[in-house]
Chains A and B, each alone.
Chain A
Amino acid sequence: MNEFGDAFHTALVMIVSANPDLIEIVGLSLRVSLSAVVIAALLGMPLGAALAVFAFPGRRAVVVAINALMGLPPVVVGLTVYLMLSRGGPLGVLGLLFTPGAMIVAQVVLVLPIVAALTRQTVEDLWLEYREQLVSLGVTPRRAVRTMLWDGRITLLTAFLAGFGRASAEVGAVIIVGGNIDHLTRVMTTAIALETSKGDLALALALGLVLLAVSFAVNAAAQILRDMVVRAQG
């Protein structure tokens, strides 16, 4: 109990004093996870909306595949991205392995199906409501996708948050493709795993607290944004 208390105290001191190592790790974590979620949203939201609006042969199979990919094991994604980015791999020429770029790639692969699947579900519900009106106006499917994404923006925040949650809490993929290199690819989750295994519970705990705080902060910001939009647009 004492050990936990001491670790907790040291963790708080590190946070309050803005420990440089802590700040560096937190900063990189946010940079990697937010980049991955933004890229996944830019790709996944139009993809999900298109799946809801466009009718084409094999659509159901694609939907099932994307839903299934939501549960991709991170270590499998890490291994696959590692093989793709390794020197002998098809994308080895990019020289991304063991860089934050590789970690972003791995997280995009993990987050994209989540964002796409949740977007599809949201837009499908909205499309049921809007379809006849938009078709009667002569809206093209492409414009319909844009309209659905804009009008569903409040609900789609949930997809973004779910993606961020997955990315920020993920450890298996980023440790494989990033290598957990100090001052280069060490993020909160990989650092927590490492420091815990070394017995440095204070830093691990401090990082855990920050990770929780970030999660709360992002969700609170999303809720405030959501309330503002609801107040403005009904």
Chain B
Amino acid sequence: MTAPTILPLSIERLFYAVAGRALLESVSVEIAAGSRTVILGPNGAGKSLCLRLAQGLIAPTAGCVVWKGPGAAQAKMRQAMVFQRPVLLRRSAAANVSYALAVRGVPRADRPSRVEEALARAGLAGLGDRPARTMSGGEQQKLALARAWALKPEVLFLDEPTASLDPAAVRAVEAMIQAIHEGGTKIVMTTHDLGQAKRLADEVLFLHNGRLVERAPADRFFEHPSTLQAAAFLRGEILA
């Protein structure tokens, strides 16, 4: 039996300030199941902050984040997050995945097969015994994705997951993200890479200076942006 969904995720009048300086202002958006949502914008736009607030890692100064699906009570345990710089425990690759499964209450007997499956899907089969922190940057990010994948989350948050990877690793990570999405997981990710956004986005949230400037289906956003800032960003101009 399928568990009731935790989506949609409603972000309401989100405001976040540090030392009186607003970093995110009045962001309101409802994120529904299905399509891949990409939060796009230049550096310093507030993309990562918005993602962290949506995931619940930090509390907003004002406004709220509400999971509105019938399974909302389980929201914390039905989502996962992968960071720009993978945070791996000082353990083997397999133990990293197994740890996450233990936290989510997966019975001990089921963990080895889930670990093996996740590592294989990430192209890391046979590397389970390797100390995670001795792996290459690309392998570490794939492992972080494998760990998130193993949890079978309903929503996966990705914060610039390929920002510091070489092109081959970027291709591999993007293929994994696509596969995770095809498996039924809602993808919400940030990027400042236009090419990546074009490859992966179904829907774009364009942020600039801490404000949600435009929200549109990806095709429409890239072909006919409705705001001057988005058009300038797409032309490669440096936004003030």
Residues on A close to B: CB < 8 A?
129-130, 132-133, 135-139, 143, 147, 151, 154, 232-234
Please report the C-alpha to C-alpha distance between residue A234 and residue B90 in the assembled complex, in whole angstroms. Answer: 7
Docked-complex contact A137 and B133, CB < 8 angstroms: no
Q: Provided the pairs A151-B91, A233-B131 are in contact, do residues A132 and B83 lie with their beta carbons within 8 angstroms? A: yes
A130: chain B residues at CB < 8 Å are: 87, 89
A71 to chain B minimum Cβ distance, whole angstroms, is: 32
Please report the C-alpha to C-alpha distance between residue A130 and residue B133 in the assembled complex, in whole angstroms. Answer: 13
Residues on B close to A: CB < 8 A?
52, 55, 57, 76-77, 79-81, 83, 87, 89-92, 99-100, 103-104, 131-134, 151, 157
Docked-complex contact A132 and B87, CB < 8 angstroms: yes
A23 to chain B minimum Cβ distance, whole angstroms, is: 40
Docked-complex contact A135 and B57, CB < 8 angstroms: yes
Docked-complex contact B77 and A233, CB < 8 angstroms: no
Interface of A (DSSP majority class): helix
Q: Provided the pairs A137-B80, A138-B104 are in contact, do residues A151 and B131 lie with their beta carbons within 8 angstroms? A: no
Docked-complex contact B57 and A233, CB < 8 angstroms: no
A143: chain B residues at CB < 8 Å are: 103
**Could you pull out 8 A-B pairs where Cβ atoms are within 8 angstroms?**
A130-B89, A136-B55, A137-B80, A139-B103, A147-B99, A232-B131, A233-B91, A233-B131
Please report the C-alpha to C-alpha distance between residue A143 and residue B102 in the assembled complex, in whole angstroms. Answer: 11
B106 to chain A minimum Cβ distance, whole angstroms, is: 12
Interface centre among A132, A133, A232 (most CB of B within 10 A): A133
Please report the C-alpha to C-alpha distance between residue A234 and residue B139 in the assembled complex, in whole angstroms. Answer: 15
B57: chain A residues at CB < 8 Å are: 132, 135-136
Q: Provided the pairs A151-B90, A233-B92, A234-B132 are in contact, do residues A137 and B104 lie with their beta carbons within 8 angstroms? A: yes
A136-B57, A139-B103, A234-B90 known; 20 new pairs, CB 8 Å cut-off, are: A132-B57, A132-B81, A132-B83, A133-B81, A133-B83, A133-B87, A135-B57, A136-B157, A137-B100, A137-B104, A138-B76, A151-B89, A151-B90, A151-B91, A233-B90, A233-B91, A233-B92, A233-B133, A234-B131, A234-B133
Docked-complex contact A138 and B87, CB < 8 angstroms: no
Please report the C-alpha to C-alpha distance between residue A130 and residue B100 in the assembled complex, in whole angstroms. Answer: 13
